[in-house]
Amino acid sequence: MLYSLARPLLFSLAPERAHELTLSLLKSTHKMGLMRQSVALKPVTCMGIEFPNPVGLAAGLDKNGAYIDALASQGFGFIEIGTITPLPQAGNPEPRLFRLPKAKAIINRMGFNNDGVDQLVENVKASKFKGILGINIGKNAATPVEKAVDDYLICLEKVYNYASYITVNISSPNTQNLRSLQSGDALTELLETLKKRQLELAEENQHYVPLVLKVAPDLESEDIQFIAQQLLTFKLDGLIVTNTTLSREGVENLPHGDEAGGLSGAPVFAKSTACLAAFAEALKGQIPLIGVGGILSGQDALAKKNAGASLVQVYSGLIYTGPNLIKDCVDAL
């Protein structure tokens, strides 16, 4: 109810300013003990972790982990922060975030703007959150793609003791050549190196933190088969399906529809869910799937579950429907 009143004001602001204002207001109201949302307990065990409910926050909303406690008050079963990189970086020039309200969509070309992994770790240490926290890691824009594995290793090592699970993001369309890591020898080398280090860290720290891959929806059938085989070979713990799409299907003639960047929200739902179903078929239940992309209702969340997802995540849908979406999704599942 409150969100439906606030939305016209937020939508009158530039998208990035509205994003910042929403998070600031949420943090303030949380400190005053307001705006908490009660959500049903629906435990799900996945990757060896018991989630209080299967609906999580996708990475990108809280890149630096500065709003964890406030976001946790909204009833998420888990929260994923990031994408974080070894060094702070400004990301792409503004404007870089665009609303397409008629399509309930967003286009972004943020470019992994973040304060760096060390700041994120400090923010996590300062938070009171005791729930399930995913940390999404990426590479700096200035790092050549041939050296990308070094950036992922730095982040993996630094966040290992602060994450419930760690997501390797190789699917943002807004960092040059990043998606090339989804194929061929580049993917093999990345997964082999990170898996080896994960097992070493598990032994050193006496606890195991699951390692998850996040992929794009813009994959051909042979890409899906190859990625699935690599995931099984290197025994990754989970797969997030999917990131944003480069397709403009459904927004071609809308204002901002031709902006560069990744498209999220309602138009990515069908493509993302088809990709999810294809991975479910290829992996045959051997690796759990987290479904994300275009969830704007409880029925959308249920469709992801029916396509093979053990857990789901939301982000763009929150912007169009507000925090009630979390409760709707939990109830539907």
Mean pLDDT within 42-48: 98
Q: Choose among 327, 306, 325, 302: nearest CA to 315.
A: 325
pLDDT band of residue 155 (cuts 50, 70, 90) is: very high
> Beta strands of the chain (E only): which ranges?
44-46, 49-51, 55-57, 78-84, 97-100, 105-108, 133-137, 165-169, 211-215, 238-241, 262-265, 289-292, 311-314
Proportion of the chain above pLDDT 70, given as a percent: 99
Asked if residue 56 lies in contact with residue 333, where contact means CB atoms within 8 angstroms, the answer is no
For tokens 């995540």, name the residue.
313
Residue 1 has pLDDT above 70, yes or no: no
The DSSP symbol for 93 reads P
Mean pLDDT within 151-155: 99
**Exposed, middle or buried: residue 90 (CB in 10 Å: 0-12, 13-18, 19+)?**
exposed
For tokens 């045959």, name the residue.
284
Q: Choose among 14, 21, 16: nearest CA to 6.
A: 21
Structural domains of the chain, ranges and CATH numbers in brackets: 2-332 (3.20.20.70)
Q: Letter for the amino acid at 27? A: K
pLDDT on residue 107:
98
pLDDT on residue 234:
99
Residue 33 has pLDDT above 90, yes or no: no
Mean pLDDT within 152-176: 97
pLDDT on residue 250:
95
The residue annotated as part of the active site, out of 73, 127, 171, 172, is 172
For tokens 């309602």, name the residue.
266
Report whether 214 belongs to an annotated binding site.
Answer: yes
Mean pLDDT within 105-113: 98
Asked if residue 298 lies in contact with residue 332, where contact means CB atoms within 8 angstroms, the answer is yes
pLDDT on residue 82:
98
Return the ∠ at Cα 107 (arms to 151 and 7), rounded to 5°: 115
**Three-state DSSP class for residue 169:** strand
CA distances from 161 to 82, 165, 166, 275 (A): 16, 10, 10, 32
pLDDT band of residue 153 (cuts 50, 70, 90) is: very high
Report whether 110 belongs to an annotated binding site.
Answer: yes
Report whether 291 belongs to an annotated binding site.
Answer: no
Residue 235 has pLDDT above 70, yes or no: yes
Report whether 243 belongs to an annotated binding site.
Answer: yes
pLDDT band of residue 40 (cuts 50, 70, 90) is: confident
Report whether 282 belongs to an annotated binding site.
Answer: no
Maximal C-alpha separation, the chain? 54
Tens of pLDDT along 285-304?
A: 999 999 999 999 999 999 99
Q: Is 264 a catalytic residue?
A: no
**Exposed, middle or buried: residue 125 (CB in 10 Å: 0-12, 13-18, 19+)?**
exposed
Report whether 62 belongs to an annotated binding site.
Answer: yes
Residue 309 has pLDDT above 70, yes or no: yes
Residue 50 has pLDDT above 80, yes or no: yes
| Cis before 255 (ω within 30) | no
